Structure 1
């Protein structure tokens, strides 16, 4: 395997996860089981599971709220009428966590900044029983159409805009200090989704890609804070492993907001942020790093969470940030 994945990536995994690295590298050898959630806006869980059983698709409860794992199938889940009718949504377990952390409530104004294909957007609608006021943004026109299709298929009450989240607050001044909660599942180098059976998943990878993504992420997360109302919550997440796109982005943001004397944006001098703890009842989690290659980060970074990849979960990073 070490002859297949980029050596620099392997070294990175070893540097981050130390004694756990060999087991983690092995997770890239096997595909994860199919997991899904029931769209309770269109169907009841009991009816969906009974129908799947009739089709020869055996499932078990997953470790997260409204999550299910396919253990045996005589028919692909994506070829069932339940999937085609939007009564279930096939989604990786790790991908389900950020909306659960955001915990949308009725009547809250919620922004999903980079929303396509819509897995987390529709999950937010389901979690709030379609009573949160959700706005989903997607820049890419093709992906925007996929987002639109999935929202309609899932019966999710979500407003959508084909816009660039990078400049959203500049184009819509009414969004400044407006949203109760924001989800920024940021575009990233997707290291957590590398799959040895699919060379396309990692052939693009290099250290310059990480730097490029981190620059973009910093712009997005700063804009997110700008649009968050005081007291509001931002959940920042990526499906990547390196610290440059994870802990170091949050650390940069905390310095920029809490310590910067810049007058470029009014909110920088008036607002502060803090990283809130995340409570997840999972065995495969670890706190974010507060020291990286000898560099000390803000101690609050320990409140961020890393999902350690295993036979069920892909790698993920999640930070819950409050503006005050």
Structure 2
């Protein structure tokens, strides 16, 4: 098994001195699988009747509504189920569901999903809106764009417009009530020691490149948010350069931006942390601890979430 890069481990211990060893243990653990019911197609009765008949065991995740977990040994059976093929369930990591819950989409709202593929959060938004509202979803890669459209159709989401375009080149004068920017990142939070591809590409250079892209996207799409609207910025990385530093610099340059606290029912879990206070010579006290870091764990991959309001 290939070992994690020394520089990555050094950085990780600086970021999480108190949680370093438990995070390494999480990287070595085969995380629980998870899914949500698609309420556009089912109330769940037929799904769990099928699972019972096929001896598929799924457990309710008590900390969040409409989240179910399963042992990875059940994944093949779940993906072979009628419920999966009919789009009545959507396999999605728990941490990946959280940005949409923080976004809190409401019926009738106009929402922009900047980096939408493969459609996990896009279809989650549509479901929470009950297909009542408008979602604009962007993706530049053809394969991922096709996957996005496939999942939208499979999930029965009918209020989504998709555009195959580099988000940096998307030009629109439209103003949105809410924007989800789940930004491209170095994906450190998804590292699995059982999958070398999850960390084989890691480098500090990649972190720098991703931070430049994230900065550009956040600044660009802030102009498309209406006054009083909210933008959720999220990544699945642990790197402060892609998380706290992005937001601190953004708040310094945009006087009409305000960071808001985040509160979900899982906020007291050990894997739910406030943003880190500093990294190296960088101070993040201006965030007031309002940024959220989800630690890699048995149930979650690493995530960073911030809630911004245009004032």
Considering the TM-score relative to the shorter chain, is it more than 0.5? yes
Question: Aligned match of 1:248 in 240, 245, 248?
Answer: 245
Q: Post-superposition, which runs of at least 4 consecutive aligned residues in structure 1 deviate over 6 A?
A: none
C-alpha change, 1:181 and 1:74, in structure 2 (3 Å) is: closer
Specify every segment of 5 or more residues in structure 2 that has no aligned partner in the other structure, as ranges.
none
- 1:295: Cα distance to partner? 2.4
Aligned residue for 1:18, secondary structure, equals coil
- 1:52: Cα distance to partner? 1.1
Question: Contact 1:250/1:301 (CA < 8 Å) preserved in 2?
Answer: no
Could you tell me the TM-score, scaled by structure 2's length? 0.94
- 1:95: Cα distance to partner? 0.3
Alpha-carbon displacement from aligned partner over 1:283-318 (angstroms, at most 9, x marks no partner): 121111232213223522521100012110111000
Question: Aligned match of 1:225 in 222, 226, 250?
Answer: 222
Could you tell me the TM-score, scaled by structure 1's length? 0.91
What is the RMSD computed on CA atoms of the aligned residues? 1.5
- 1:281: Cα distance to partner? 2.7
User: Does 2:212 align with 1:215?
Assistant: yes
Which residue in the other structure is 1:69 paired with? 69
Distance 2:106 2:169 in 1: 27
Question: Contact 1:56/1:75 (CA < 8 Å) preserved in 2?
Answer: no
Which residue in the other structure is 1:96 paired with? 97
User: Does 2:264 align with 1:280?
Assistant: yes
Question: Contact 2:191/2:198 (CA < 8 Å) preserved in 1?
Answer: yes
Question: Contact 1:167/1:223 (CA < 8 Å) preserved in 2?
Answer: no
User: Does 2:290 align with 1:290?
Assistant: no
Alpha-carbon displacement from aligned partner over 1:211-258 (angstroms, at most 9, x marks no partner): 000000000011121110000000000000010000001111111212
Aligned residue for 2:39, secondary structure, equals coil
Distance 1:60 1:43 in 2: 18
- 1:33: Cα distance to partner? 1.5
Matches within 5 A, 1:149-160: 149-157=150-158, 158-160=160-162
Specify every segment of 5 or more residues in structure 1 that has no aligned partner in the other structure, as ranges.
259-271
Moved more, 210-219 or 3-12: 3-12
Compare relative contact order (CA 8 Å, sep 6+) and give the higher one, 1 or 2: 2
Aligned residues: 305
